[in-house]
Chain A
């Protein structure tokens, strides 16, 4: 298995779970395959195969070819993998995540935060804490200042890591 295929399987496991991996393995063995054939081969229900294929299609990890059945006149869709696009997809997602982390870092750096101490409650920015008179909007307990320097450090490190990986 080459690194493209390893990445593809890892990605599909994250996006489509165990059933997604079964579908990809079936596609890898057979090349152009219909939903019915995949279902028969994997034992996964047809509607689940279709749902997962559309999900993978939206991420450009699979593609389909349409042809018409000579006897019935119906369209037949045959699916196949696009392992050559996996690296480009991963790099694209990294770009998107990087942008979001930069937005978040800026927000973390420009705001003061408060927290009630309960792990199930979200932290609250100063502006919102004033509105609730420094009471947690979720549980009502008093809010205390929160040191977010660890979050800032983590975001900076992650941003640096992604920027390094995305360098041409």
Chain B
């Protein structure tokens, strides 16, 4: 049942990504309603796929793993106000093209507003 597994992997990844300093493997399988064995195999699969890192740690006298996501949190913040994000011509815009980042008035205005160019005389 690959689809079920992929869904579970995605859920586990989300859980791991949402925990700022990583999550204990035992915490992960408990929260996903899995058994210890299922949780361990799931974490191993994610590690093999290069999605997470597993560090062996001692927790309440028992060895377990701390799971950390290798995926970085993707945020819109850095491009949120960029005119290119809203532009329908983004794929037709290149130097010498129908639209160009050199002459685009929206891009020029955005740069000027954010840099303060022109206001300094």
Contact = CB atoms under 8 A, between A and B. Distances in A.
A109 interface: no
Contacts of B58: none
Contacts of B75: 7, 90, 165
Contact of B111 (A14, A104, A162): A104
Contact of B117 (A7, A90, A101, A150): A150
Given A97-B85, A150-B115, A150-B117, A3 B78 contact: no
Contact of B115 (A11, A101, A107, A151): A151
Interface string B77-111: 01110101110001101110000111001011001
A162 B74 CA distance: 11
A42 interface: no
A129 to B, nearest CB: 15
A4 B10 CA distance: 12
A67 interface: no
Given A151-B111, A151-B115, A101 B101 contact: yes
A94 B75 CA distance: 10
Contacts of B78: 94, 158, 161-162, 165
Contacts, number: 91
A100 interface: yes
Contact of B10 (A15, A84, A165): A84
Contacts of A103: 94-95, 100-102
Interface string B1-45: 000000000100010011000000000000000000000000000
Given A3-B73, A90-B74, A93-B85, A150 B116 contact: yes
Interface stretch (A20-28, A30-38, A70-78, A115-123): A115-123
Contact of A107 (B10, B86, B102, B114): B102
A14 B101 contact: no
Nearest to A91: B74
Contacts of A94: 78-79
Interface of B: 10, 14, 17-18, 72-76, 78-80, 82, 84-86, 90-91, 93-95, 100-102, 105, 107-108, 111-112, 114-118, 120
8 contacts: A7-B75, A93-B79, A103-B100, A103-B101, A122-B105, A151-B115, A155-B111, A165-B78
Interface of A: 2-4, 7, 10-11, 14-15, 84, 86-87, 90-91, 93-94, 96-97, 100-101, 103-104, 107, 115, 117, 119, 122-123, 146-148, 150-151, 153-155, 158, 161-162, 165
A-B CB proximity, top 3 nearest: A154-B115, A100-B101, A150-B115
